Chains A and B, each alone.
Chain A
Amino acid sequence: MSLAYYPGCTLKTRARNLEEPAVASMEALGLKLDEVPRWNCCGAVYSLADDDLIHQVAPVRNLIRVKKQGKSELVTLCAFCLNTLKRANLLMKQDVAKRDTLNDFIDEGIDYGGEVKVLHLLEVLRDRIGWEALSRKVKLPLHGLRAAPYYGCTLLRPREIAIDNVENPTVLGDFLRALGAGPVDFPESTRCCGSYQVVSSPGDIAEYARPILNSALSHGAEALVLTCPLCDYNLGRGQKELIKKGSGFKEMPLIYFTQLLALALGLGPQACHFELNHGGPESLLKEKNLLPQTRSVQLIEG
């Protein structure tokens, strides 16, 4: 079985460590991620103005490409892409007048009415595969890893597109539990990382990161688990600046949920691109015996 898959720009460069372990893991779970042909940038942020249709064109064009691909469900890994695509889809479903205008303008020879279902990979794991079935596939349980799920904004807000309970989300924690890790819940797990403010006010980013990191640390987290490349950048950068300022805490590894999935499924660190991570997760994972030696290393030693 295969699902249409929308990667998003950053997953093709900086966040290959979010994409590649997901593709490998899903293949191992028997679900192929089938990249949408000719996809374009979704625009990252959803337009909040009632009369602004031009910024809906990019996400809707992608949804049309999914329909042309002959698929009815679309999976994303990046939380930002999920948010923008899912909200644009809702608009196409609910607002007939805007739907017609957009279809006319986009002119792809297809009438689109919001029929594609937009999903995050976590939803596929939870609702299609199921936590129990997933845990049966685990070859290397992440025992002893105290990882804190960080949701950020876009998986949960606004309410209409949330993939879980807005106030008290559990999906990332359940996911970690299925992999054998001990999730660390902390109160600031849905607090904003500063988002696009890093473009105009990079100096403010450390102060966005501070309460999030402090809260996770004080609840005993050894690593933060993420779903979004912008959270990754902002928290990574903010953390470095805080350490430079002498705020007293040591750097905490930031890890994408897909990397932990690949590790637990026994796909090894080769699938994970840890070199792209902030906070050097490798030493933590090694300490927990979660980095099996790669074949080449064994060959050299043997």
Chain B
Amino acid sequence: MSAKQTKKKSAATAVKHRAKETAATAVKEKKQIAARLIPIYIMGKRYEVPEGLTIMKAMEYAGYILIRGCGCRGGTCGACGTFYRKPGDYKLQVALACQKTVEPDMYIAQIPFFPANRAAYDFAGLTAAPEEVFKLYPELFRCVACNSCTKACPQGIEVMDAISALKQGNITVAAQLSFDCIQCGLCTSRCFGELAQYHMFQLARRIYGARIIPRAEHLAGIVKAVNEGKYDRFLDELKGTKEAELKKLYQEREIEPMAAGEDWKPKDSRYL
């Protein structure tokens, strides 16, 4: 058996194993949860799931094994973008499956991935000029200001305004408006102009971070001091300390109070 085949086989076993495990937890949960069951529709099929679950947990409860379309389970990775609709409401709703709790009669489809081309570039060669974005993403100019993207963003980002800012050559505003983007791709799935907004935003934030916001001067000072060995002695001291003593030091360390002012200094200023 080749190495590749072995790998494939073990992957398959892993999936099967996980399936068993999930099923087992699901049964356990079914027994434990006395919660009311509510109907939801996943890709058109009806399931009854306990209320209070997130969409993601409800899908797993219904028997789905998520190997894509789920990552952090904490609302930050952007893997679990989801569209849903409720009967009697024409509006398309968006959510992160790991964050949104199920509601009765939701029609759900997760969009784990949406095709969007990311331009290839050598960042070292890029300047802060707006033309850098124009060169890499000329389709930017196909935006028609329909606002579908803003309506689709689970992060509440004003996507259309950020695209507008890029068209106007304002990388700073685009980077700031899109700061909370988790690259779920829901905006892209709805775009009339067929733009890949989130890749453009990522470029804008990179340019903003590296070329536009001023460098922190004090940080440069500290880096210089570190490189010149100012802290070597203290580190050596720590390295030579016994574990119990280290723990004690750690527990008793002085912490800057939340509301400390600019001029706050620790009592022990030996290491400053």
| A touching B, CB within 8 angstroms | yes
- Which residue of the partner chain, among B131, B164, B168, B192, contacts A54 with CB atoms under 8 Å? B192
CB of B56 closer than 8 Å to a CB of A: no
Q: Are B169 and A43 closer than 8 Å at their CB atoms?
A: no
CB of B174 closer than 8 Å to a CB of A: no
Q: Are B145 and A41 closer than 8 Å at their CB atoms?
A: yes
Q: Are A40 and B161 closer than 8 Å at their CB atoms?
A: yes
**How many chain B residues touch A (Cβ–Cβ < 8 Å)?**
15
Q: Are A9 and B168 closer than 8 Å at their CB atoms?
A: yes
Once A38-B161, A40-B161, A41-B164 are accepted as A-B contacts, the answer to whether A55 and B169 lie under 8 Å apart by CB is no
Once A9-B167, A12-B168 are accepted as A-B contacts, the answer to whether A41 and B143 lie under 8 Å apart by CB is yes
Which single residue of chain A is at the shortest CB-CB distance from B129? A13
CB of B170 closer than 8 Å to a CB of A: yes
Q: Are A41 and B167 closer than 8 Å at their CB atoms?
A: yes
Q: Are B145 and A13 closer than 8 Å at their CB atoms?
A: no
What 0/1 readout, one digit per residue, does chain A (51-62) give for beta carbons within 8 Å of chain B? 000110110010
**How many chain A residues touch B (Cβ–Cβ < 8 Å)?**
16
Which single residue of chain B is at the shortest CB-CB distance from A47? B144
**Given the complex, which residues of A lie within 8 Å of B144, measured CB to CB?**
43, 54-55, 57-58
Once A40-B160, A40-B164, A54-B192 are accepted as A-B contacts, the answer to whether A61 and B145 lie under 8 Å apart by CB is yes
**Cα of A41 to Cα of B166 in the assembled complex, Å:** 10
What 0/1 readout, one digit per residue, does chain B (157-176) give for beta carbons within 8 Å of chain A? 00011001001111000000
Which residues of A (130-163) have their CB < 8 Å from a CB of B?
none
**Cα of A201 to Cα of B243 in the assembled complex, Å:** 74
**Given the complex, which residues of B lie within 8 Å of A41, measured CB to CB?**
143, 145, 164, 167-168
What 0/1 readout, one digit per residue, does chain A (30-58) give for beta carbons within 8 Å of chain B? 00000000111101000000000011011
CB of B130 closer than 8 Å to a CB of A: yes
Once A38-B161, A40-B160, A40-B161 are accepted as A-B contacts, the answer to whether A12 and B146 lie under 8 Å apart by CB is no
**Cα of A13 to Cα of B144 in the assembled complex, Å:** 20
Instruction: Tell me, rounded to whole Å, the shortest Cβ–Cβ distance linking A192 to chain B.
Output: 21
Once A38-B161, A40-B160 are accepted as A-B contacts, the answer to whether A57 and B170 lie under 8 Å apart by CB is no
Once A40-B161, A41-B164 are accepted as A-B contacts, the answer to whether A13 and B130 lie under 8 Å apart by CB is yes
What 0/1 readout, one digit per residue, does chain A (119-135) give for beta carbons within 8 Å of chain B? 00000000000000000
- Which residue of the partner chain, among A12, A58, A107, contacts B145 with CB atoms under 8 Å? A58
**Given the complex, which residues of A lie within 8 Å of B161, measured CB to CB?**
38, 40
What 0/1 readout, one digit per residue, does chain A (8-30) give for beta carbons within 8 Å of chain B? 01001100000000000000000
Instruction: Tell me, rounded to whole Å, the shortest Cβ–Cβ distance linking B150 to chain A.
Output: 11
Q: Are A57 and B169 closer than 8 Å at their CB atoms?
A: no
Q: Are A12 and B169 closer than 8 Å at their CB atoms?
A: yes
Q: Are B130 and A57 closer than 8 Å at their CB atoms?
A: no
**Given the complex, which residues of B lie within 8 Å of A9, measured CB to CB?**
167-169
Q: List 20 A-B contacts (CB under 8 A).
A: A9-B167, A12-B170, A13-B130, A13-B169, A38-B161, A39-B164, A40-B145, A40-B160, A40-B164, A41-B143, A41-B145, A41-B164, A43-B145, A54-B192, A58-B144, A58-B145, A61-B145, A61-B147, A105-B146, A106-B147
Binding site for B on A (CB under 8 A): 9, 12-13, 38-41, 43, 54-55, 57-58, 61, 105-107
> A-B pairs with the 4 shortest C-beta distances?
A58-B145, A13-B169, A40-B164, A40-B145
Given A41-B168, A54-B144, 7 new contacts (CB under 8 A) = A12-B168, A38-B161, A40-B145, A43-B144, A54-B192, A57-B146, A58-B145
